Chain A
Amino acid sequence: MSAKPTKTYGLLAEFDTAAAIMHAAIECRDAGFKKWDVYTPFPIHGMDDAMGVKKSLVGWFTFAGGFTGFFTGMGMIWFMNKFDYPLVVGGKPLFTPLYAFPVSYELTILMGSFGTLIGMFLLNRLPKLYNPLFKNERFKRATDDRFFVCIEAADPKFSQARETLEKAGAQVIETVED
């Protein structure tokens, strides 16, 4: 952190029910904010649409991982049992995708899972151990039973933030310093 005086990170508004936060999200979306987010203790069904969040891209990471896993398995077994040291065991073929399938299948799942998790972390910019929101005492209840909207100061329409949040029925509005 720099030594210069704190600057505003954003405006944090607290709501007390799932319906209220849903309503607030729709208001913020329609007001045209870009850099803002909703914070809830659990995922709320329909919130992505209310916020206008696009479909998650995690699936592509899974695909990349799974694809790599499958062909790693096939390639590894072909290399070991057919190419590098061919050894006939029980008169069976040196390589067929059939006996290589179970291991390749497991590696598809293994690497697909790693891909999924890595994709989720990358897309979410996690781990992120510093966040200005953590300095706000009220925000601790975002993982308990309260619902928050934060509109960042970097948003071009930030000047209208307080008005929108008040109109949305926020119970408390606080400024968060960076």
Chain B
Amino acid sequence: MAKSASDPQSHAGHSAPVGAALKVYPAPKELEREPLVLNNRSLGWITDAIAGICEKPMPKWWWPAFIISFGVMVMMFSMIAYEVSTGIGVWGLNQPANWAWDITNFVFWIGIGHAGTLISAVLFLLRQKWRTSINRSAEAMTLFAVACAGIFPVFHVGRVWFALLPGYLIPAPNANGIWPQFRSPLLWDVFAVSTYGTVSLLFWFTGLIPDLATLRDRATSKVRKFFYGLFALGWTGSNRNWSNYEKAYLILAGLSTPLVLSVHSIVSFDFAVSVVPGWHTTIFPPYFVAGAIFSGFGMVLTLLIPMRTLFKLEDVITVRHVELMCKVILATGSIVGYAYGMEFFIAWYGGSPYELYAFKNRAFGPYWWSYWSMITCNVISPHLFWFKWCRSTMWFVWLISIVVNIGMWFERFVIIVTSLHRDYLPGSWGYFTPSWVDILTFVGSFGLFMTLFLLFIRFLPAIAISEVKGVTPQADPHHPLGGAKDHH
């Protein structure tokens, strides 16, 4: 298999003569797709390259990265402990902005999760084979982002035991026998987010089973053999099992797709169902979903570009993969930009003076700086991806991916705070400023996210080994590299 890198698979599948009279010529070079795994790597190479990462000791940078992330995470939990023990007043929010960084951070993190599900489920249904190199880590990112997201709505109630007591979030009667009332989108949100977290975990675990079996079979120490063996559940790679497995995977993808669309739609209902000018708009569900995918792909790139370099996975996560993700960012970024424009149009066309004021205030009021940061990051920066240089230069893509996430955080801040801080009654107008606890809690949530992600790449295969093998020519029984003879 150690052919030179310049050897393309020019004699690919369909070049074999089909009949005596009919000869099918290989596709011209310019029409051939770039392979998903570069340099014609063998199946064994793929196993070694990916499973090797979590078998060898971690590289030198891992420990400092982990210790810093862990420290930042501890800071977040200290902030939460301070907030719970002292009261919600340690945060900067108050009348009239009763929601501020808490819900901004919640929507920010839950939105980031959406790219993972989009990659694992929607691209699977669309038969986008390139997803195999990135879906595992993107799904892990989803889970960790949902974990970060969950913290904010739970702790923004201040006396957190109220969130967990019957009658508030969980469907059980409170002390007076009153049940939670299901007419509120806030309760729909509880069900949407917890279903999302659970189904993402199931989907992720299902995908992991065959790879855990690979790690079990390669394990040399007793401890590794025990734990990987336990979680691999006795997987053998039997085709009778694969048959049910593939069906289950397909169905889970089919269930996750409407799920991911519903989750951010329901998150947007938290706003859209209210009567607050700036929130009460029908464009919210699709606009939130597009924004979620936009920010999520940004975060996937932020994580994967360093990962592919640091672990030398350039042959598996290729430049083509990165370019394709940039194109998704470009597409969803354009939808988001369109939605911003349409919101303004409807505010004017709808004829409600309150709505129009809310939007004028958004762009030119006291929070103008956040609005224009959002526009710069979300509307202008993705359009750089029209240029091939911008899509295929790794440091540049990485930079833009961070800009995208900053922009999407500002989007939620703009929606929430600018709509709330000036409502119908000028006497109750105010200006929200975050407290230091607000800021450190949010920064700390990145510590939690990175700690979980670093542990993930330490202990689990960061790329779906069996799925990547499945899209190589070696896996195709009708391809010469898969062992096919010229005639059969």
Contacts and interface: CB of A to CB of B under 8 A. Distances in A.
Contacts, number: 219
A166 interface: no
Q: Which of A47, A105, A114, A124 neighbours the largest number of chain B CB atoms within 10 Å of its CB?
A: A124
Contact of B239 (A17, A51, A106): A51
Interface string A24-68: 010000000000011111111111100101001111001000100
Interface string B468-482: 011000111110001
Interface stretch (B3-11, B228-236, B297-305, B420-428): B228-236
A110 interface: yes
Given A62-B255, A87-B181, A103 B240 contact: no
Given A41-B214, A89-B183, A116-B255, A144 B247 contact: no
Interface on chain A toward B: helix, strand, loop, or mixed SS? helix
Interface in B377-431: none
A102 B270 CA distance: 12
B241 A77 contact: no
Nearest to B469: A42
B358 interface: no
B47 interface: yes
Contacts of A160: none
B237 interface: yes
Contacts of A116: 248, 251-252, 255
Contact of A56 (B247, B262, B467, B482): B247
A87 B178 contact: yes
A129 interface: yes
B195 A109 contact: yes
Interface residues of B, number: 71
Interface in B455-488: 466-467, 469-470, 474-478, 482-485, 488
A37 B239 CA distance: 6
Contacts of B210: 41-42, 143
B43 A41 contact: yes
A145 B43 contact: yes
B245 interface: yes
Contacts of B238: 37-39, 124
B202 A113 contact: yes
A173 interface: no
A40 B239 contact: yes
Given A110-B195, A143-B217, A80 B483 contact: no
A82 B156 CA distance: 29
Nearest to A101: B188
B44 A38 contact: no
Given A48-B243, A102-B262, A89 B47 contact: no
A110 B466 CA distance: 26
Given A39-B239, A76-B171, 20 more contacts: A17-B474, A17-B482, A17-B483, A18-B475, A18-B477, A18-B483, A19-B484, A41-B43, A41-B210, A41-B466, A43-B245, A48-B243, A77-B182, A80-B180, A106-B191, A106-B259, A109-B256, A124-B238, A129-B233, A143-B214
